Amino acid sequence: MKFKDVFNERSVGALADAIKEAYPALDREAFLAGVLDEGWPDLELKQRMRKISTTLGGFVPTDFRRCLEILRRALPWLTDYGFVLAVFPDFVEVFGLDDWEASMAALEEFTQVMSAEYAIRPFIVRYPERTMAQMLAWARHENAEVRRLASEGCRPRLPWGMALDALKADPSPILPVLESLKLDESESVRRSVANNLNDISKDNPDVVLEVLRRWQADDEEELGWITRHALRTLLKSGHPEALDLLGFCREPAIGVANLTVEPKVVPMGGEVTFSFEVESLSDRPQELMIDYVVYYVKASGQCSPKVWKLSKRTLQPGQILRITRRHSFAPVTTRKYYPGELAVEPKINGRLFGRVPFVLGRANP
């Protein structure tokens, strides 16, 4: 089942039933006909969610606060339908922008059953100071899902979400929120803190490095994990200060040899196996972050590099490591493969060590 199919005739019908219980005047059949029209099969996940929200707006009262009461009364009828509850914060995003106070109360409630990380973002754009103050207050909330919203909702580059350009340019309003949550008891909240910092690092690496250096003074195990996860983009790029912070050598004394890739021609959907050796040229132990780069062919015919994680190792004096990895070209929803000449290259502590080409063939007819 495709992920978008969590919104299907059955789940949308259950939503209609729940709304009908809370609002008997709902024309259930007309609402379903408006949602499940001829264009429905072609809609992706977020498009389906938005289709439900906007259609629902035409079948409930025009008064936004009355609509929120209907949604609140409908919630208990949908405990078995999980993701369909994403419609609730989305409805607030669509219809609540002119009523900040009511929308904040609703998102605080709805995020406890289905994350409102996407729905909060237009409010940050329209009411930046007021909404970020609310996020800081939510960072002290008793409910972990609300605390997670405080961080996840203001990520400058949240995947599949509206970009927050003002926070990309100046992330300082985010930092008090992350400071409050850095030692949160919830792992999902701490993960969100790390992801937020990783977002910030793409536009303001010095800000993130300064924050993480300061946090090291707390000597907490959780902060070590946050630091590693928050720096993953900078580490992939070989940022020298990020390498320093995690104890990796900027200029490792190593030799890389015997890089092989087999087969030289791999069918679409198949896999290659590549291997190489890393030899220490130092008389001291060295901390290595061993990655590899695959140079994919884009639709335009140009190459596009993608860094993949391999291993973190301590290389002893004189030691030789042999690294072997299989890389698959099986179909995935997040990447489209194009045939042509690709290449693979080791990347160790941000340095590249020799590209080897191979050919990805066309799909079988």
Q: Locate tokens 């004096």: which residue?
A: 317
Which pLDDT score, from 0 to 100, does residue 3 have?
Answer: 78
Q: What is the mean pLDDT of the chain?
A: 94
In the listed set 199, 220, 245, which residue is the last one of a domain according to the structure?
A: 245
Mind listing the pLDDT tens digit for each residue in 335-358? Answer: 889 999 999 999 999 899 999 999
Task: Note whether 209 and 284 are same-domain residues.
Answer: no
When divided into structural domains, the chain yields a total of 2
Structural domain of 327: 254-360
Could you tell me if residue 365 is inside a domain? no
Residue 214 pLDDT exceeds 90: yes
Mean pLDDT, residues 299-305 taken together: 91
Task: Note whether 60 and 147 are same-domain residues.
Answer: yes
Q: What is the CATH number of the domain that holds 219?
A: 1.25.40.290
If you write DSSP's letter for every residue of 147-179 in order, what string do you get? HHHHHHTT-TT-TTS---HHHHH--TTTHHHHH
Please state the pTM of the whole predicted model: 0.85
Which pLDDT score, from 0 to 100, does residue 129 have?
Answer: 97
Which pLDDT score, from 0 to 100, does residue 1 have?
Answer: 64
Please tell me the distance from the alpha carbon of residue 241 to that of residue 254, in angstroms, as a whole number.
20
Task: Note whether 202 and 345 are same-domain residues.
Answer: no
Residue 56 pLDDT exceeds 80: yes
Handedness of CA 83, 85, 88, 89 (dihedral sign): negative
Task: Note whether 62 and 200 are same-domain residues.
Answer: yes
Task: Note whether 238 and 261 are same-domain residues.
Answer: no
Mean pLDDT, residues 239-261 taken together: 93
In the listed set 220, 245, 270, which residue is the last one of a domain according to the structure?
A: 245
H or E, element range at 11: helix 9-22
Which pLDDT score, from 0 to 100, does residue 357 have?
Answer: 95
Mean pLDDT, residues 285-298 taken together: 94
Q: How confident is the model at residue 364 (pLDDT cuts 50, 70, 90)?
A: low
The angle subtended at Cα 306 by Cα 304 and Cα 308, nearest 5°, is: 165
Mean pLDDT, residues 173-202 taken together: 97
Mind listing the pLDDT tens digit for each residue in 31-50? Answer: 999 999 999 999 999 999 99
Which pLDDT score, from 0 to 100, does residue 284 have?
Answer: 94
Return the minimum-mean-pLDDT range out of 53-62, 153-162, 213-222.
213-222
In the listed set 211, 245, 279, which residue is the last one of a domain according to the structure?
A: 245
Q: What is the CATH number of the domain that holds 290?
A: 2.60.40.10
Q: Give the rounded percent of residues in the chain with a pLDDT score beyond 90.
A: 85
Task: Note whether 163 and 288 are same-domain residues.
Answer: no
Please tell me the distance from the alpha carbon of residue 200 to that of residue 170, in angstroms, as a whole number.
9
User: Which residues, in sequence order, are bridge partners of residue 294?
Assistant: 306, 344
Task: Note whether 219 and 301 are same-domain residues.
Answer: no
